Structure 1
Amino acid sequence: MFDDYTLRKFSNIGLRSRARSFPGFGAPTSIRCVLAPRQALRIDLGAGDLLSLDGLAPLDHVQLLAFDGRGRQALEQLGLTASHTPDPTRFDSTGLAGWIARNGGDANALPQAAQIKGTGEIIVLRATAAITVWLLRPASAQDLVVCSGGGTIAVAHQPVDTGSPILPPLLGDLRDEFTVLRGTAQAYELRKGDYVQIIDVHGQQCSDFMAFRGDGLLRGEELMIDSTATRSMVRRSYPGPGLLDKFFDRDMRPLLNVVQDTCGRHDTFGLACTARGYEERGFPGHLNCSDNMSYALQPFGVARRNAWPAINFFWNTWIDARSHHILTEESYSRPGDYVTMCAMDDLVCVSTACPDDLDPINGWNPTDIHVRIYRPDTPIRRAVAYREKEDAQMLISEESAFHERLSPLTQHFSAARDLWVPVSFPSVGTIGEYWACRTAVTVQDMSGLRKYDIVGPDAERLLQRALTRDIAKLSVWRGTYALMCDDSGTVVDDGTLFRIGPELFRWCCGSEESGRVLAELARQEGWQVRINAMRNALPNLAVQGPRSRDLLRKITFTQPTVPSLEQLKWFGVTVARLGDREGRPFMLSRSGYTGELGYELFCAKSDAVALWDAVMEAGEEFGITPMGSAALDIIRIEAGLAAADAEFAPGVDAFEAGLGFAVDLNKSDFVGQAALKRNAADPRRVLKGLIFDCADVPAHGAPVLCGERQVGVITSATRSPTLECSIAMARIAVEHAANGTELDVGMMNGRMKRLGASVTDIPFVDPQRKKARA
Structure 2
Amino acid sequence: MRAAGTTGRPRLIAPGLLSPEPGLETYWVRPGGVTGVRLRGGDELTVVDRQGRQRAELTVLAPDGSPDGAALGIVPDGPATTLRALAASADRDRITDPVLADVIAHEVDPAGLRAAILFGEWSPAGSSETVTARGPATVLVAAPSLTMRIDDPIANPASDLMLEVRRASPLAALEPRLPEPLADPVLDFRVDRATAASYEVKAGQYIQIIDVEGRQCSDFLAFHGHRLAEGVERGLDATATRYFMGQAYPQPGLYGRFYDQDMQPLVEVVRDTVGRHDTFGLACNRKYYEDLGYPGHVNCTDNFNARLAPYGIAPRAGWPALNLFYNTAFDAHNQLIFDEPWSRPGDYVLLRAGTDLVCASSACPDDIDPANAWITTDIHVRVYDAKRKFSMAIAHRVTPEQPATLTKDTAFAPRTKPLTRQFTEYRGYWLPTSFDGHGAIEEYWACRERAAVMDLSPLRKFEVLGPDAEALLQACVTRNIRRLSQGQVVYSAMCNETGGMIDDCTVFRLGDTNFRFIGGEEYSGTWLRQQAQRLGLDRVWVKHSTDQMHNIAVQGPASRDLLAELIWTPPTQPAFTDLTWFRFAIGRIGDHNGLPLLVSRTGYSGELGYELWCHPNDGPALWDALWEAGRPHGMLPLGLDALDILRIEAGLVFAGYDFSDQTDPFEAGIGFTVPLKTKEDDFIGREALLKRKTNPQRTLVGLELAGNEPAEHGDCVHIGRTQVGVVTSATRSPILRKNIALCRIAVEHSALGTEVEVGKLDGHQKRIPAQVVRFPFYDPDKERPRS
TM-score (norm 2): 0.88
Which residue does the alignment assign to 1:764?
Answer: 777
1:331-364 CA distance string (max 9 Å, x none): 1111111100111111110000111112211111
Equivalent position amino acid for 1:672 in 2: G
Matched residue SS, 2:228: helix
In the TM superposition, residue 597 of structure 1 has moved relative to its aligned partner by: 1.0
Given that 1:46 and 1:159 are in contact with CA atoms closer than 8 Å, whether structure 2 keeps it comes out as no
Given that 2:82 and 2:142 are in contact with CA atoms closer than 8 Å, whether structure 1 keeps it comes out as no
d(CA) in 2 for partners of 1:495, 1:191:
49
Matched residue SS, 1:408: helix
Which residue does the alignment assign to 2:725?
Answer: 712
d(CA) in 2 for partners of 1:506, 1:335:
36
1:469-514 CA distance string (max 9 Å, x none): 1111111000100111122211111100010111111110111332
Which residue does the alignment assign to 1:243?
Answer: 254
Where in structure 2 are there 5+ consecutive unaligned residues?
Answer: 1-10, 96-100
d(CA) in 2 for partners of 1:346, 1:543:
47
d(CA) in 2 for partners of 1:100, 1:530:
35
Which residue does the alignment assign to 1:256?
Answer: 267
Given that 1:63 and 1:137 are in contact with CA atoms closer than 8 Å, whether structure 2 keeps it comes out as no
Which residue does the alignment assign to 1:526?
Answer: 536
1:87-140 CA distance string (max 9 Å, x none): 99xx9x9996544678899xxx99567463525452457895678765322145
Equivalent position amino acid for 1:25 in 2: L
Which residue does the alignment assign to 1:691?
Answer: 704
d(CA) in 2 for partners of 1:52, 1:642:
41
Q: CA RMSD in A?
A: 3.0
Which residue does the alignment assign to 1:427?
Answer: 437
Equivalent position amino acid for 1:433 in 2: E
- Which structure 2 residues correspond to residues 461-472 of structure 1 after superposition, within 5 A? 461-472=471-482
Asked if 1:25 is matched to 2:18, the reply is yes
Asked if 1:599 is matched to 2:606, the reply is no
Equivalent position amino acid for 1:253 in 2: Q
In the TM superposition, residue 390 of structure 1 has moved relative to its aligned partner by: 2.3
Given that 1:66 and 1:134 are in contact with CA atoms closer than 8 Å, whether structure 2 keeps it comes out as no
In the TM superposition, residue 26 of structure 1 has moved relative to its aligned partner by: 4.7
Matched residue SS, 2:517: strand
1:705-737 CA distance string (max 9 Å, x none): 001111111111111111112111001111111
d(CA) in 1 for partners of 2:253, 2:27:
27
In the TM superposition, residue 51 of structure 1 has moved relative to its aligned partner by: 6.6
In the TM superposition, residue 434 of structure 1 has moved relative to its aligned partner by: 1.2
Matched residue SS, 1:505: strand
In the TM superposition, residue 381 of structure 1 has moved relative to its aligned partner by: 0.9
1:524-551 CA distance string (max 9 Å, x none): 3322222112132211111111111122
Q: 1:62 to 1:358 in 2, by over 3 A?
A: closer
Q: 1:216 to 1:656 in 2, by over 3 A?
A: same
Asked if 1:231 is matched to 2:242, the reply is yes
Given that 1:151 and 1:530 are in contact with CA atoms closer than 8 Å, whether structure 2 keeps it comes out as no
Asked if 1:579 is matched to 2:590, the reply is yes
Asked if 1:400 is matched to 2:389, the reply is no
Match of 1:167 among 178, 181, 203: 178
Match of 1:498 among 508, 513, 532: 508
Which residue does the alignment assign to 2:714?
Answer: 701
d(CA) in 2 for partners of 1:636, 1:94:
47
Asked if 1:746 is matched to 2:770, the reply is no
d(CA) in 1 for partners of 2:641, 2:704:
20
d(CA) in 2 for partners of 1:114, 1:719:
63
Matched residue SS, 1:240: coil
Q: 1:244 to 1:221 in 2, by over 3 A?
A: same
d(CA) in 2 for partners of 1:74, 1:240:
47
Given that 1:168 and 1:336 are in contact with CA atoms closer than 8 Å, whether structure 2 keeps it comes out as yes
d(CA) in 2 for partners of 1:68, 1:214:
51
Match of 1:624 among 635, 644, 654: 635
Which residue does the alignment assign to 2:35?
Answer: 43
In the TM superposition, residue 60 of structure 1 has moved relative to its aligned partner by: 5.9
Percent identity over the alignment is: 41
Asked if 1:54 is matched to 2:49, the reply is yes
Matched residue SS, 1:345: coil
Given that 1:83 and 1:112 are in contact with CA atoms closer than 8 Å, whether structure 2 keeps it comes out as no
Q: 1:567 to 1:421 in 2, by over 3 A?
A: same
Q: 1:734 to 1:101 in 2, by over 3 A?
A: closer
Which residue does the alignment assign to 2:6?
Answer: none
Match of 1:442 among 452, 458, 465: 452
In the TM superposition, residue 75 of structure 1 has moved relative to its aligned partner by: 9.1
Where in structure 1 are there 5+ consecutive unaligned residues?
Answer: 1-17
d(CA) in 1 for partners of 2:741, 2:55:
51
d(CA) in 1 for partners of 2:719, 2:12:
51
Equivalent position amino acid for 1:513 in 2: Y
1:588-643 CA distance string (max 9 Å, x none): 11111111111111111211121111111211111222211111111111110111
1:144-172 CA distance string (max 9 Å, x none): x6432368554336486641011112111
Q: 1:113 to 1:258 in 2, by over 3 A?
A: farther
Match of 1:365 among 375, 392, 396: 375
d(CA) in 2 for partners of 1:422, 1:605:
18
Given that 2:15 and 2:400 are in contact with CA atoms closer than 8 Å, whether structure 1 keeps it comes out as no
d(CA) in 1 for partners of 2:204, 2:601:
47
Which residue does the alignment assign to 1:302?
Answer: 313
Given that 1:717 and 1:729 are in contact with CA atoms closer than 8 Å, whether structure 2 keeps it comes out as yes
Given that 2:395 and 2:404 are in contact with CA atoms closer than 8 Å, whether structure 1 keeps it comes out as yes
d(CA) in 2 for partners of 1:636, 1:20:
40
d(CA) in 1 for partners of 2:166, 2:642:
45
d(CA) in 1 for partners of 2:663, 2:614:
35
- Which structure 2 residues correspond to residues 366-385 of structure 1 after superposition, within 5 A? 366-385=376-395
In the TM superposition, residue 466 of structure 1 has moved relative to its aligned partner by: 1.2
Equivalent position amino acid for 1:138 in 2: L
Which residue does the alignment assign to 2:8?
Answer: none
Given that 2:148 and 2:157 are in contact with CA atoms closer than 8 Å, whether structure 1 keeps it comes out as no
Which residue does the alignment assign to 2:225?
Answer: 214
Q: 1:196 to 1:403 in 2, by over 3 A?
A: same
d(CA) in 2 for partners of 1:225, 1:95:
46
Equivalent position amino acid for 2:163 in 1: A
d(CA) in 1 for partners of 2:213, 2:728:
39
Asked if 1:562 is matched to 2:568, the reply is no
Which residue does the alignment assign to 2:5?
Answer: none
Of the structure 1 ranges 18-27 and 181-190, higher mean CA displacement relative to structure 2 is found in: 18-27
Which residue does the alignment assign to 1:190?
Answer: 201
Which residue does the alignment assign to 1:138?
Answer: 146
Given that 2:56 and 2:141 are in contact with CA atoms closer than 8 Å, whether structure 1 keeps it comes out as no
d(CA) in 2 for partners of 1:472, 1:385:
38
Which residue does the alignment assign to 1:6?
Answer: none
1:168-195 CA distance string (max 9 Å, x none): 1211121121111111100001011211
Matched residue SS, 2:320: coil
Matched residue SS, 1:696: coil
Of the structure 1 ranges 541-550 and 750-759, higher mean CA displacement relative to structure 2 is found in: 541-550
Matched residue SS, 2:244: helix
Given that 1:56 and 1:118 are in contact with CA atoms closer than 8 Å, whether structure 2 keeps it comes out as no
Matched residue SS, 1:571: coil
Asked if 1:509 is matched to 2:504, the reply is no
Equivalent position amino acid for 1:691 in 2: E
d(CA) in 2 for partners of 1:671, 1:238:
40
Of the structure 1 ranges 400-409 and 306-315, higher mean CA displacement relative to structure 2 is found in: 400-409
d(CA) in 1 for partners of 2:487, 2:90:
37
d(CA) in 2 for partners of 1:214, 1:173:
24
Equivalent position amino acid for 1:740 in 2: G
Equivalent position amino acid for 1:711 in 2: V
TM-score (norm 1): 0.90
Given that 1:464 and 1:470 are in contact with CA atoms closer than 8 Å, whether structure 2 keeps it comes out as yes
d(CA) in 2 for partners of 1:591, 1:67:
52
